[in-house]
Amino acid sequence: MQWIKDSKKICLVFHIDADGICSAYIIAKVIERIKGELPCLYALSSTYVNKNLRAKLKDYDLVIFTDLAVDSHPEAIREIAETSKVIIFDHHELTHNLNGPNVKHISTKMETKRYYPCSYQVYNYFNKEMDLSDMDWIAAVGLIGDVGAKLYKNFVESTLKKYGMKKCKDPNYFDTELGEMAIIIGAARVYNKTKGALKALKILLECESPKEFWEKTELLQKWRNKIQPYLDKNIKEFEKEAEKCKDVLIKRIKDPKYNIGSPLSSILSERYPNKTIILVVDKGNIAKVHARSKVRNLVELLSKATSGLKNVSCGGHKQAAGASIEPSDVTKFIRNLKKELGCK
């Protein structure tokens, strides 16, 4: 908190999914209450802070990362810390402890093995210093968006009750009003990647309550309605075309219209809870692997399947992980994956 008070120029770098956006909302609002103005906002889809972004961040006294496992590339963070103070809020598998004179690395993995999405992490962290009870709804939205709500059902259900919202049947709460908000916020990155996520956060920062959310997010709701038929189409194609390897279902998607990899893999994982879902999405000069499973350690599986490939970025959680690989290596990746699984 003191670093925020002492800093004149602050930049908040956030991940582009619903949890990243919701955690960024809470941090940005906290900064606004302390400093009287919002920080600079930057949406990032990767855990790697590239050279151009590092150069820009050197202009700030304080750089805050949220929902980004930037510790997987420690040299980049250490470079930023040469000229700026750095705070990292994260809940992904820990690669390096980056705590130091100019870095505060606040990782839930340093304290617990329990799944603990960033929205709830930053809400609890700052709620110790100031009253954030008016932001409980956005913390709950982030929890639902990251499929972590059922682990914190008392918090989610008390929030639903507080705002007069119905509890429904889905154990992950996606069929509640807060769940619908999570879907709408998450649709922003599907529709327009980092630009969509940044726009979503800026719109969200104008909302002080669930009521205002429905009044001010018309654009985000339109985006959600545009992508839904495309998601439905790809679900049907997956069910017809996915390759089976033991409990694993694998499908490659080339040049999708929207950035559907993450939400599609999550939807399919809920639909097939006893299966492991692997989607490989090729677009442009990168292929992204989206993996979901309730039965396998995906961090280990993807690490082994990407071994020996060039320019690999890999990480996430045991049950929800991802990787970036060269498009030319997709066939080799799938071959490695099958070998690791014991399939031909």
Q: Do residues 290 and 314 touch, judged by C-beta distance below 8 A?
A: no
Question: Which residue type sits at 336?
Answer: N
CA distances for 57 relative to 19, 48, 84, angstroms: 23, 14, 8
Give yes or no for a contact between 266 and 182, defined as CB atoms under 8 angstroms apart. Answer: no
Express each pLDDT in 46-82 by its tens digit: 888 999 999 999 999 999 999 999 999 999 999 999 9
Q: Is the pLDDT of residue 315 over 80?
A: yes
Residue 320 has pLDDT above 80, yes or no: yes
Residues 265 and 283: their CA atoms lie apart, in Å, by 16
The pLDDT of residue 331 is above 90 = yes
Q: What is the pLDDT of residue 313?
A: 85
pTM of the model: 0.92
> What is the percent of the chain where pLDDT is above 90?
88
Whole-angstrom distance, CA of residue 292 vs CA of residue 302: 11
Angle (CA) 115-337-290 rounded to 5° is: 45
For residues 307 and 104, the model is more confident at: 104
Rounded Cα distance, 238 and 256, in Å: 13
Residue 294 CA to residue 204 CA, distance in Å, equals: 32
Query: Residue 332's Cα: distance from chain center in Å?
Result: 27
pLDDT tens for residues 245-293?
999 999 999 999 999 999 999 999 989 999 999 999 998 888 999 999 9
User: Residue range 15-40: average pLDDT?
Assistant: 98
Looking at residues 130-154, what average pLDDT do you find? Answer: 96
What are the structural domains, with CATH classification, of the chain? 2-220 (3.90.1640.30), 242-341 (3.10.310.40)
H or E segment to which residue 291 belongs: strand 286-292
Per-residue pLDDT of 162-208, as tens digits, reads 999 998 889 999 999 999 999 999 999 999 999 999 999 999 999 99
Q: 93 pLDDT band (50/70/90 cuts)?
A: confident
Three-class SS of residue 171? coil
pLDDT at position 161: 96
* pLDDT for the residue 22: 99
The H or E element containing residue 51 is helix 51-57
Write down the pLDDT at residue 112.
Answer: 87
